[in-house]
């Protein structure tokens, strides 16, 4: 089981969109679990459109982090992709829990108990530096950082890298990270931001996910991308890149 945490300390950075379509690509390669750790619950809405907020009130990612539910109680099984839903109440976690250490240990233990069941786990995180972010960084083999060409991009990336280092030193664990450029255009301003990103040491920048209306509309309509379309291929390539980073041995020799 390999865990990919999708993160960026800035809302509107295409985190949820990336997590959704990457999960779909990975699920074609192996059984995949998606964990929604953002109280905005975009992934929960996407994967479980008919779920009522009341029905997950007692069994969700927050009750799992707090040790009040077991992982089997909070997983909602899907056909290809299982999901642990989020809830708005997660916004209060920071006041309920006194620090992030206990939460991180709970999440790690929970995932270990299902490691034979899943090949991949994808975690979506909040656009903020909160306790649940630390937990999601702690359990990750790879932190995938979608970056959009906003003027806050480099600042947000630096804040996240701080969080990753803090988590690494808190738990003595080294993490892989990678940047994923999303929504970049050909303008000089966009290219400048991308060039600055590429100068950030030791963190690879993956192939760009192209700006695409169909990614936006499909996601809003709770649909996966059309098989064979350009955006579909972009996420298919991303899945291969991700696997190469987290699990180099699983790549078939000479397959690319």
Single out the residue of 75, 54, 58 nearest to residue 66, CA to CA: 58
Tell the smallest beta-carbon distance from residue 182 to a second copy (Å).
Answer: 17
DSSP 31: -
Residue placing its CB nearer to a second copy in the complex, 29 or 171: 171
Of the two residues 95 and 174, which places its CB atom closer to a second copy in the complex? Answer: 95
Shortest Cβ 189–a second copy spacing (Å): 12
SS (H, E, C) 148-187: CCCCCHHHHHHHHHHHHHHHHHHHCCCCEEEEEEECCCCC
The residues that touch a second copy, with contacts defined as CB under 8 A, are 9-12, 39-41, 45, 52-54, 88-89, 91-92, 94-95, 126-130, 151-152, 155-156, 159
- Contact in structure between 246 and 142 (CB atoms under 8 Å): yes
Taking the C-alpha atoms of residue 82 and residue 76, their distance in angstroms, rounded to an integer, is 6
**CB of 192 vs a second copy, minimal distance in Å:** 13
As a whole number of angstroms, the distance between CA 59 and CA 87 comes to 9
Least distance from a second copy to the Cβ atom of residue 145, Å: 14
254 conformational bin, left if phi > 0, alpha if psi -120 to 50, beta if neither: left
Closer residue to a second copy (CB): 12 or 30: 12
Report the C-alpha dihedral over residues 174, 198, 147, 242, rounded to 10 degrees: -50
Q: Where are the alpha helices (DSSP H) in the chain?
A: 15-27, 42-47, 61-65, 71-74, 93-96, 100-112, 131-138, 153-171, 188-198, 213-220, 230-246
Judged by CB, which is closer to a second copy: 151, or 188? 151
Least CB distance from residue 76 to a second copy, whole Å?
16
Q: Of 25 and 104, which CB lies nearer to a second copy in the complex structure?
A: 104
CB of 54 to a second copy, least distance (A): 8
Q: How far apart are CA 157 and CA 36, in angstroms?
A: 21
- Provide, rounded to whole angstroms, the least separation between the CB of residue 248 and a second copy: 33
Q: Residues 32, 210, 238, CA angle at the centre, nearest 5°?
A: 30
Taking the least distance from each CB to a second copy, the nearer of 26 and 133 is 133
C-beta closer to a second copy: residue 11 or 204: 11
């Amino acid at each position: 089981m390999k865990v990919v945490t999708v993160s960026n300390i800035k809302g509107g950075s295409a985190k949820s969109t990336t997590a959704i379509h990457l999960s779909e690509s990975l699920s074609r390669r192996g059984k995949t679990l998606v964990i929604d750790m953002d109280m905005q619950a975009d992934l929960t809405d996407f994967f479980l459109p008919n779920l009522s907020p009341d029905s997950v009130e007692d069994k969700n990612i927050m009750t799992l982090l707090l040790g009040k539910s077991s992982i089997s109680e909070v997983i909602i099984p899907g056909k290809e992709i299982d999901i642990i839903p989020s809830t708005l109440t997660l916004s209060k976690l920071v006041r309920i829990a006194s620090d992030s250490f206990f939460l991180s240990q709970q999440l790690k233990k929970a995932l270990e108990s299902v490691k034979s069941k899943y090949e991949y786990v994808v975690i979506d995180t909040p656009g903020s530096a909160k306790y649940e972010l630390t937990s999601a960084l702690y359990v990750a083999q790879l932190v995938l950082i979608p970056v959009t060409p906003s003027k806050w991009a480099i600042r947000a990336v630096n804040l996240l890298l701080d969080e990753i280092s803090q988590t690494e030193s808190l738990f003595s664990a080294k993490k892989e990270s990678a940047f994923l450029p999303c929504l970049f255009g050909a303008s000089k301003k966009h290219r400048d931001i991308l060039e600055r990103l590429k100068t950030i040491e030791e963190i690879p920048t993956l192939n760009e996910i192209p700006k695409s209306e169909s990614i936006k509309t499909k996601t809003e309509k709770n649909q996966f991308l059309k098989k064979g379309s350009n955006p579909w291929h972009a996420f298919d390539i991303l899945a291969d890149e991700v696997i190469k980073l987290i699990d180099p041995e699983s790549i078939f020799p000479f397959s690319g």
